[in-house]
C-alpha cells in the first residue's frame, strides 16, 4: 500500500526523521485561516495528495506567496483530476530554501534478500534521469539485517558520494532503517533529502510503500488504508479472492494467469512488442468455471480493454474448467472481445475442445506464451 505524502511525513516524524511542519487541507473554505492556524509562514507550497509520481511536472505542486494565492490554488487543485486520480486532499508546507538536495531510500532487494540503501548526491525530481545518464552517481548498499546500519555504511556513502561528513546523517539513516523494518516497508524514500541553510537535514518529500500482508499488525496504517479510494474493479475482484492490478491507463490489453511470475513474464513480452497492458488479474489456484467466468467478466468490464490474454498452467486449476469459464463469460457478453488463450497441464485436451466450441471467431488458442503474444500483436495491427 502506497501512503500519501502527508501520511509518510507523519510516519517520518514519529521515527524522529526531520520534516517540514505542514497542514492537510480537504476543503476550499477559509484556506488562509487554516494555514495561519497551523503556524505556517508564507511563501508556502501546496501539494496534491495522490498515489502517483511526477506531481510537480503535472501541475500538482504550486507555490503561494499569500493567503489569496493559496485560496486560488486550493480551489483549482482540490477535487480536480491529476494524472487520472482525483485529488481529495492537499498538503501545505512552508517553502524550503535548500542548500543541497540528495536522494535517499531503503527498499527490499529481492536479489540480495536484504534491505538496500540507495543514495545519490543528485536528488530531486530528475533522479530517474540521473539513473539513466549517470548511474555511477547512484550508490547501492545492502544492509545485513543482523548488523543494521554500521559505521561502514555511513563511511561508504560519505566517501563515494563526495558529500562530506554530516553530524546527523548516521542518526537519520538509523531512524529510517528502524522505520523500514518496524513498519514492514517495501520502500521508504526521501526525495529530496535537503541540507538547509542552517546545515540541518530535512526530509522534504517522502514516499512509503507498506507490505499489505502486514496491515493486520499496523492498526493505524490499516485505518488510513480504509480512507483511500479503491478502484471498483480491484474491490470487485478481491470479493472473489482475485488480485486485479491496474497498470497503464491507456492500455487496451488485459492479462490473466494463475501465478504472479507468469503474469509478469506475459506483461514483459507484451511490452517488448510495443503494446500496452491496461490491467492484470491473478486467479490464484483451484479456480472453477464459475469463478473463471466472473474473472473474465470483471476484466472485460473495463471499457478500455478490448483484448485479453490468458495463460494457465493447469495443476489444481484444470484447463477444461478455465476454458468452460471463458465460454460462459463470453456467451453472456453482448460485445465481442478478442481472447487469446495458452493452456497447459491438467485436462489440456478437453480444454482445447471447449475453446473450439466457442462461437464468433474471437477466441484463439496458443501453444506457448510467445506464440500468444505474437497473436495479440497481429490482431492489434489489424
CATH number corresponding to 98-223? 3.30.470.20
Look at residue 306 in the predicted model and tell me its pLDDT. Answer: 93
Total-model pTM: 0.76
Pair 190, 148: CB distance under 8 Å: no
Q: Which of 2-6, 109-113, 230-234, 256-260 has the lowest mean pLDDT?
A: 109-113
Fold observed for domain 21-94: Dna Ligase; domain 1 (3.30.1490)
The chain-wide mean pLDDT, for the chain, equals 92
Sequence ranges of the domains in the chain: 21-94, 98-223, 232-380
Pair 141, 121: CB distance under 8 Å: no
For the chain, percent of residues with pLDDT exceeding 70:
99
For the chain, percent of residues with pLDDT exceeding 90:
75
Q: What is the mean pLDDT of residues 218-224?
A: 94
Q: Which CATH number fits domain 232-380: 3.40.720.10, 3.40.50.1970, 3.40.50.261, 3.10.110.10?
A: 3.40.50.261
Amino acid at each position: 500500500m502506497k501512503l500519501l505524502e502527508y501520511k509518510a511525513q507523519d510516519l517520518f516524524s514519529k521515527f524522529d526523521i526531520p520534516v517540514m511542519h505542514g497542514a492537510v487541507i480537504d476543503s476550499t473554505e477559509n484556506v488562509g485561516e487554516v494555514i495561519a492556524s497551523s503556524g505556517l509562514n508564507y511563501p508556502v507550497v501546496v501539494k496534491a495528495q495522490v498515489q502517483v509520481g511526477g506531481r510537480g511536472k503535472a501541475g500538482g505542486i504550486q507555490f503561494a506567496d499569500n493567503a489569496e494565492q493559496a485560496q486560488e490554488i486550493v480551489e483549482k487543485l482540490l477535487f480536480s483530476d491529476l494524472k487520472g486520480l482525483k485529488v481529495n486532499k492537499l498538503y501545505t508546507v512552508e517553502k524550503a530554501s535548500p542548500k543541497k538536495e540528495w536522494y535517499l531510500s531503503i527498499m527490499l532487494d529481492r536479489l540480495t534478500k536484504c534491505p538496500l540503501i540507495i543514495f545519490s548526491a543528485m536528488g530531486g525530481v530528475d533522479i530517474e534521469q540521473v539513473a539513466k545518464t549517470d548511474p555511477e552517481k547512484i550508490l547501492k548498499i545492502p544492509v545485513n539485517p543482523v548488523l543494521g546500519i554500521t559505521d561502514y555504511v555511513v563511511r561508504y556513502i560519505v566517501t563515494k558520494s563526495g558529500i562530506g561528513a554530516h553530524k546527523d546523517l548516521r542518526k537519520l539513516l538509523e531512524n529510517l532503517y528502524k522505520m523500514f523494518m518496524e513498519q514492514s516497508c517495501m520502500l521508504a524514500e526521501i526525495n529530496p533529502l535537503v541540507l538547509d541553510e542552517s546545515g540541518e537535514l530535512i526530509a522534504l518529500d517522502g514516499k512509503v510503500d507498506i507490505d499489505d500482508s502486514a496491515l493486520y499488525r499496523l492498526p493505524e496504517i490499516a485505518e488510513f488504508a480504509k480512507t483511500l479510494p479503491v478502484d471498483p474493479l480491484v474491490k470487485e475482484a478481491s470479493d472473489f479472492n482475485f488480485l486485479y492490478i491496474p497498470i497503464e491507463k491507456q492500455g487496451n490489453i488485459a492479462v490473466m494467469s494463475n501465478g504472479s511470475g507468469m503474469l509478469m513474464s506475459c506483461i514483459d513480452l507484451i511490452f517488448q512488442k510495443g503494446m500496452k497492458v491496461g490491467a492484470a488479474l491473478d486467479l490464484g489456484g483451484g479456480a472453477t468455471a464459475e469463478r473463471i467466468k466472473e474473472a473474465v467478466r470483471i476484466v472485460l468490464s473495463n471499457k478500455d480493454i478490448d483484448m485479453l490474454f490468458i495463460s494457465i498452467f493447469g495443476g489444481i486449476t484444470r484447463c477444461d474448467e478455465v476454458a468452460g469459464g471463458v465460454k460462459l463469460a463470453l456467451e453472456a457478453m453482448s460485445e465481442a472481445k478478442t481472447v487469446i488463450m495458452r493452456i497447459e497441464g491438467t485436462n489440456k485436451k478437453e480444454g482445447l475442445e471447449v475453446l473450439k466450441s466457442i462461437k464468433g471467431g474471437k477466441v484463439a488458442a496458443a501453444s506457448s506464451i510467445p506464440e500468444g503474444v505474437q497473436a495479440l500483436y497481429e490482431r492489434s495491427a489489424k
